């Protein structure tokens, strides 16, 4: 004899599946993490230049270019820290 699952159980399963799908979709649209400042500074001179940024994939390089808020074509640790913090702050 086959039984039909109760409606509350079915609804709970549907809600859980919907939440799982939503979380997966959000993960796919999340920007990739920024590389560590010291990893970007390839020549280890303490200054990150646009040339050091431009070796990264376009999506990451574009985000790092936007971090250069004073437009001096270098990325200071302070600019990077503000940018990295903004990337992890949820938008409302």
* pLDDT of 10 higher than 90: no
Which class in CATH covers the domain with range 7-88?
Answer: mainly alpha
pLDDT, one tens digit per residue, over 23-76 is 555 556 777 789 999 999 999 999 999 999 999 999 999 999 999 999 999 999
Only one residue has tokens 């990893």, namely 39
How many Cβ atoms sit within 10 Å of the Cβ of residue 79?
A: 19
User: Looking at the chain, which runs of residues are DSSP E strands?
Assistant: 48-49, 74-75
In this predicted structure, what is the pLDDT of residue 84? Answer: 80
Structure pTM? 0.60
* pLDDT of 80 higher than 60: yes
């Amino acid at each position: 004899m086959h039984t039909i699952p109760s409606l509350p159980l079915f609804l709970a399963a549907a809600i859980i599946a919907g939440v799982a799908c939503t979380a997966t979709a959000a993960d796919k649209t999340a920007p990739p993490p920024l590389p560590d400042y010291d990893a970007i500074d390839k020549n280890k001179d303490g200054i990150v230049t646009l040339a050091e940024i431009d070796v990264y994939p376009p999506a990451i390089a574009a985000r790092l270019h936007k971090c250069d808020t004073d437009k001096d074509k270098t990325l200071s640790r302070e600019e990077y820290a503000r940018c990295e913090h903004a990337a992890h702050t949820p938008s409302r």
